[in-house]
Amino acid sequence: MISVENLSKDYLLKKKAPGLSGALKGLVKRKYEEIHAVKDLSFHIDEGEIVGFIGPNGAGKSTTIKMMAGILTPTSGNVFINGEDITKHRKEVVRNIGVVFGQRSQLNWDLRLGESFELLKHIYQIKQKDYEATLDVMDEILGIRELLDKPVRQMSLGQRVKGDLVAAMLHSPKVLFLDEPTIGLDVSSKFALRTFIKEINKIKKTTVILTTHDLGDIEELCERLIIINHGVMMEDGNLSQIVDRIAPYKTLVVEYYDDIAPEHVRCEMIEHEGNIAKYKFMKQETTAAEIIADLSKEKNIKDVSIEEAGIDDIIKIAYGA
Amino acid sequence: MKKYFYIIKTQIIKTMTYEFNVYGNIIMQTIIMITSAYFWKALYRNQDNVGGVDADSMLTYIIISSLLSVLLITNVEKRIEQSVIKGTVATDMMRPINVFGGYFAEDIGSIIALFFQNMLPIFIIGSIFIKVPKMADITALPLFIISVVESFLINWLIAALFGMIAFTAINIDALIQVKKHLLRLLSGSIIPVWFFPEKVANVLEVLPFVYIYQLPLSIYIGKGDRADQIRGMEIQFVWLVILAAIFLYAQKRATRKVMVQGG
């Protein structure tokens, strides 16, 4: 479906000294710094996948998405969508692509939402029948019809993002790119958006590629994660695989009746305070049940709990923070 | 083609959204028009004829020039600059249309809206306060219409070429202003170049600018004979072809250099 091969993007960034004197100097003498926003990225995405692109701010996520959507021209490397090179056949390939940027809208500020949709209907040459059918589906998930007569400039952020999602889906693209779609949304709007993504993925088999900083988005939506940092791919795989690879351990927390805590051969005691002790063990070597059984032979145990590396820990580790 | 017509239609709706802007434009054009009228009346006080043009024709010239200036409003360079600054150029790029074709359709839409909102009022104001701008020789009407269409295209292509600079330079406000005022001066929209020293006029007649305003206006007021007018239109056509060629060459390269600002 989507193949990315050795994708790189370099920018020339004007380097300016800070302050007014810096600005004045910059007028006469310019220094440029080459920024490698994306470095030699290669991956393949199949039809119907939901892939989460994650990484800290400035990691090159948006740049990658923009290149995949044919908006930015790569410095080197290729993007193929359905086997077609995006830089060579932009006008044809973009028919199969929908894009939503959480921070900017493709809707027309001066028009009513319905008018914006009508314009897109004509630009993409969508048949009236298909247009109505898509709107029906969108109405069921997002309740979009009641917004059609509202001018976009009077919409709330949540409504506008809904409008943007529908606008991106009107031509039934095979691939939907979402660049931080949930940014700034309240809980119920986020919920609606996630439902929307899951539904279109199910009903229309749309391949979804999204960037996000929202852990909820990742947990609920992404079967596969691509983690990038400094423009380089750090991890690629499904969530549990990545967790197993980055954090192949769990932590067992045991509460005793007194302050003495026994050691165990197959795990490491990482903390001991009062009557609570924390044991870190490798998932492949042993199980929590085994350790509890062994420990309970030596001492009476009051309570146990297991801490697992969560997605936020994974991200912290993967980002190298 | 149909999609571009729809862009035109949508742009008409958009342009009609802010009525207040319209009145400002009418007032500005009226001031320029009436001031120029007094200016020319004063200049012609002791003379009947300058360069084969009498005072009455000169008044027609400035009224039609005011009307043309509405037709020759181009938004394309501002449009590109704004979408590059705001980063919405991404939206323009991801649609299955020619990006510049879209900008062109938007400008056509604005002009259709402005025809009713600005041109008609200015025509009426000019007719009442200055004179009814009658065409000197009605048989030249086809020539006039063709030359206006060509001058519109020349003007648009120059603006689009300027706009392309914004793809890399991002902010081109100052450049747009320089272009706008230079164009006013060099195109004969306020002062026809036959009032300039001969050497300057000769140079200007080789450049494309006089073919934006002065040529269609000269045809309208009947300056020179038919052969002069046809010769002017030939040069105008050559410029149109040259600019179109440069434009076609530049547009592919320009869109490749697009900078999309923001996260």
Looking at the domain assignment, is residue B203 inside a domain? Answer: yes
**Ranges of CATH 3.30.70 domains, chain A:** 247-319
Structural contact between residues A57 and A250, judged by C-beta atoms closer than 8 angstroms: no
3-state secondary structure of B242: helix
For B2, the closest of A66, A94, A122 (CB atoms) is A122
A20-29, A192-201, B44-53: segment of lowest average pLDDT = A20-29
Closest by CA to A7, choosing from A51, A59, A65, A50, is A65
How far does B237 lie from chain A, in Å, by closest CA? 31
pLDDT value, residue B73: 83
Is B6 touching A (CB cutoff 8 A)? yes
Structural contact between residues B148 and B68, judged by C-beta atoms closer than 8 angstroms: yes
Identify all chain B residues contacting A115, using CB atoms and an 8 Å cutoff. Answer: 10, 13
> Across residues A198-215, what is the average pLDDT?
90
pLDDT value, residue A55: 85
Domain A247-319 has CATH 3.30.870: no
Q: What is the 3-state secondary structure (H, E, C) of chain A?
A: CEEEEEEEEEEEEEECCCHHHHHHHHHHCCEEEEEEEEEEEEEEECCCCEEEEECCCCCCHHHHHHHHCCCCCCCEEEEEECCEECCCCHHHHHHHEEEEECCECCCCCCCEHHHHHHHHHHHCCCCHHHHHHHHHHHHHHHCCHHHCCCEHHHCCHHHHHHHHHHHHHCCCCCEEEEECCCCCCCHHHHHHHHHHHHHHHHHCCCEEEEECCCHHHHHHHCCEEEEEECCEEEEEEEHHHHHHHHCCEEEEEEEECCCCCCCCCCCEEEEEECCEEEEEEECCCCCHHHHHHHHHHHCCEEEEEEEECCHHHHHHHHHCC
pLDDT value, residue A321: 56
In the stretch 168-197 of chain A, residues with CB closer than 8 A to chain B read 179-180
Counted domains in chain B = 1
Tokens 């506008």 appear where? A160
Structural contact between residues A223 and A238, judged by C-beta atoms closer than 8 angstroms: yes
Tokens 């030699």 appear where? A40
pLDDT value, residue A188: 87
Identify all chain B residues contacting A91, using CB atoms and an 8 Å cutoff. Answer: 96-98
How far does B95 lie from chain A, in Å, by closest CA? 6
Contacts of B202 (CB under 8 A, 6+ apart): none
For B10, the closest of A57, A119, A125 (CB atoms) is A119
Structural contact between residues A91 and B98, judged by C-beta atoms closer than 8 angstroms: yes
A97:B94 CB<8 A: yes
pLDDT value, residue B117: 87
**Ranges of CATH 3.40.50.300 domains, chain A:** 2-7+43-243
pLDDT value, residue B141: 93
The alpha carbon of B211 is separated from its chain's Cα centroid by a whole number of angstroms, namely 10
B94:A108 CB<8 A: no
CATH of domain A2-7+43-243: 3.40.50.300
How far does B93 lie from chain A, in Å, by closest CA? 6
B50's enclosing H/E stretch is strand B49-50
pLDDT value, residue A93: 85
A223 confidence band (pLDDT: 50, 70, 90): confident
Using the predicted structure, report yes or no on whether residue B43 has a pLDDT greater than 90.
no
Identify all chain B residues contacting A103, using CB atoms and an 8 Å cutoff. Answer: 262-263
How far does B256 lie from chain A, in Å, by closest CA? 6
For A94, the closest of B10, B95, B256 (CB atoms) is B95
B96:A92 CB<8 A: yes
B260:A71 CB<8 A: yes
Structural contact between residues A12 and A28, judged by C-beta atoms closer than 8 angstroms: no
B261 confidence band (pLDDT: 50, 70, 90): low
Looking at the domain assignment, is residue B97 inside a domain? Answer: yes
In the stretch 259-298 of chain A, residues with CB closer than 8 A to chain B read none
Closest chain A residue to B89, measured at CA: A71
Using the predicted structure, report yes or no on whether residue B97 has a pLDDT greater than 60.
yes
> Across residues B213-228, what is the average pLDDT?
91
Structural contact between residues A231 and A55, judged by C-beta atoms closer than 8 angstroms: no
3-state secondary structure of B54: strand
How many CB atoms within 10 Å of residue A36? 15
Using the predicted structure, report yes or no on whether residue A88 has a pLDDT greater than 90.
no
The alpha carbons of chain A give a radius of gyration, in whole angstroms, of: 25
Identify all chain A residues contacting B3, using CB atoms and an 8 Å cutoff. Answer: 122-125
Q: Give the structural domain span for B59.
A: 2-256
> Across residues A274-294, what is the average pLDDT?
88
pLDDT value, residue B262: 54
B259 confidence band (pLDDT: 50, 70, 90): low
Give the tens place of pLDDT for each residue, A156-206.
Answer: 988 998 999 999 999 999 999 998 888 888 888 888 889 999 999 998 899
How many CB atoms within 10 Å of residue B25? 16
B96:A91 CB<8 A: yes
pTM of the full predicted structure? 0.82
> Of the spans A76-90, A278-292, B211-225, which averages the highest pLDDT?
B211-225
pLDDT value, residue A166: 92
Taking CA B34 as the corner, what is the angle to CA B28 and CA B37, rounded to the nearest 5 degrees?
Answer: 140
Closest chain A residue to B257, measured at CA: A73
Identify all chain B residues contacting A123, using CB atoms and an 8 Å cutoff. Answer: 3, 6-7, 95-97
User: Which residue(s) pair with B241 in the sheet?
Assistant: none
User: Which residue(s) pair with A207 in the sheet?
Assistant: A175
How many CB atoms within 10 Å of residue A305? 12
- Residue to substitute from B7, B83, B91, B258, interface A, most A β-carbons within 10 A: B91
Q: What is the phi-psi region of residue A320: left when phi exceeds 0, alpha when psi lies from -120 to 50, beta otherwise?
A: left
Distance from C-alpha of B56 to C-alpha of A104, rounded to nearest angstrom: 54
How many CB atoms within 10 Å of residue B206? 9
Using the predicted structure, report yes or no on whether residue B86 has a pLDDT greater than 90.
no
pLDDT value, residue B8: 94
The alpha carbon of A149 is separated from its chain's Cα centroid by a whole number of angstroms, namely 32
In the stretch 190-229 of chain A, residues with CB closer than 8 A to chain B read none
Looking at the domain assignment, is residue B263 inside a domain? Answer: no
Start-to-end CA span in chain B (Å): 34
Closest by CA to B220, choosing from B84, B81, B56, B32, is B56
Give the tens place of pLDDT for each residue, A224-256.
Answer: 999 888 888 888 988 878 888 888 888 899 999
3-state secondary structure of A187: helix
> Across residues A68-79, what is the average pLDDT?
88
Give A151's DSSP letter: B
- Mean pLDDT over each residue of chain B, to the nearest integer: 88
Helix and strand tally (H, E) in chain A? 11, 14
Interface contacts A/B by beta carbons within 8 Å: 77
For B10, the closest of A72, A103, A115 (CB atoms) is A115
For B90, the closest of A101, A115, A125 (CB atoms) is A101
Structural contact between residues B65 and B213, judged by C-beta atoms closer than 8 angstroms: yes
A91:B97 CB<8 A: yes
